[in-house]
Amino acid sequence: MKAFRYTFRQLRRSARAVLITTEITLRQIATDGFIIFGLFIQPLLVAFLGLWMLENKGGDYAIFVVVGSSMTGLWTSILFISGISIMEERWTRTLELLVATPTPLFLIAFGKNLAYVAQWLFSIVFSYTVVSVVFGYPLEIRQPVFFALSLGLIVVSFICFGLIMATFFLVNPELDRWKNGLEYPVYMLSGFLFPIALLPGWTTPFSYLLSPYWAARVLHATSQGTADLREIVLTWGMLILFSILYVTLSLILFRKALYKVRVDATLSQY
């Protein structure tokens, strides 16, 4: 009973740390021009580009484009913002303080990523509203329940993906300089706006290793009403599998990274 109470108290403290981090991060990014562009304006511009380019495709191309362009915003956010969520603490000289507090850095990173991915949900609603209400494109989500449940899984999966990115950037600051070259490859490999069948066959296994691919696949299928039970089970299963994998890996990487930067005395180096 005592152990149970202790565990419950610990869980409550962890949840509180995560939620406070999320709240503060949401407040910080609400006026950040770079994030506003990445999550709201860029997906909208990509959506219009896609809508005008794919208008001859017929069928449900409009909802396909809106979902795909929203996914581009999410990936851009994960790459450019989640990746540097720990690095930016380095730049503002607060990383040492965070590492020294009893709250695990992993939880802080989790809270920050929760804020970024939560803001992405607003961006989907924003894109949907502008494209459908302001510009009058017919947008219908054919399997709304599965779509909403998929969104929930995707939120978790991308938070976990963001944690992995944060550790990579923490251990290797050089990676920060290469991120400009990582944006479009994932757009392509994940099939956000065109099927991956258009790419050379040898790239397909790389797509299967990316959770954004499974996220885009299930959102496209549920929005267009083509998701049967087998497809749902497969895509959700892969999203859950990747989430577990990413969390486990990131926990190990966080521990190793923090040990390494202390031993090498590079905690503040960038």
Partner 1 sequence: MKRLWLNVRLFWQGAVLSYIGMFHWLRPSMYFSSKVVGPIWQVMFFTFLGTYATGEDTADFYIIGNAMQLVGINGIYGVTMSIAGDRYNGTLPYLFASPANRLVMFSGRAVVHIFDGMIGVLIGLAWGVAVLGLDLSQANPAGLLLVILTVAFSTSGLGLLMGSLSLITVNVMLVNNLIYYLMLVLCGVNIPVDRLPAWVQPISSILPLTHGLQAARELVTGQALSHVLPDIGIEIALGLVYGLAGFFVFRWIEMQAKRRATLEAV
Interacting residues with partner 1 (CB under 8 A): 33-34, 36-38, 41-42, 45-46, 48-50, 52-54, 56-57, 174, 177-181, 183-185, 187-188, 193-195, 198-199
Minimum separation from the CB atom of position 222 to partner 1 (A): 21
Minimum separation from the CB atom of position 188 to partner 1 (A): 5
Minimum separation from the CB atom of position 213 to partner 1 (A): 15
Choose between 142 and 179: whose C-beta lies nearer to partner 1.
179
Choose between 176 and 231: whose C-beta lies nearer to partner 1.
176
Q: Round to whole Å and give the CA distance between 153 and 130.
A: 25
Choose between 105 and 196: whose C-beta lies nearer to partner 1.
196
Q: Is the dihedral of CA 117, 119, 120, 124 positive or negative?
A: positive
Choose between 44 and 238: whose C-beta lies nearer to partner 1.
44
Minimum separation from the CB atom of position 122 to partner 1 (A): 17
3-state secondary structure the chain: CHHHHHHHHHHHHHHHHHHHHHHHHHHHHCCCHHHHHHHHHHHHHHHHHHHHHCHHHCCCHHHHHHHHHHHHHHHHHHHHHHCCCCHHHHHCCCHHHHHHCCCCHHHHHHHHHHHHHHHHHHHHHHHHHHHHHHCCCCCCCCCHHHHHHHHHHHHHHHHHHHHHHHHHHHHCHHHHHHHHHHHHHHHHHCCCCCCHHHCCHHHHHHHHCCHHHHHHHHHHHHHHCCCCHHHHHHHHHHHHHHHHHHHHHHHHHHHHHHHHHHHCCCCCCC
Choose between 102 and 136: whose C-beta lies nearer to partner 1.
136
Please say whether the beta carbons of 166 and 117 come within 8 A. Answer: no
State phi, psi for 38 to the nearest 5 degrees: -60, -35
Minimum separation from the CB atom of position 192 to partner 1 (A): 9
Choose between 175 and 234: whose C-beta lies nearer to partner 1.
175
Choose between 173 and 225: whose C-beta lies nearer to partner 1.
173
Minimum separation from the CB atom of position 38 to partner 1 (A): 8
Minimum separation from the CB atom of position 79 to partner 1 (A): 12
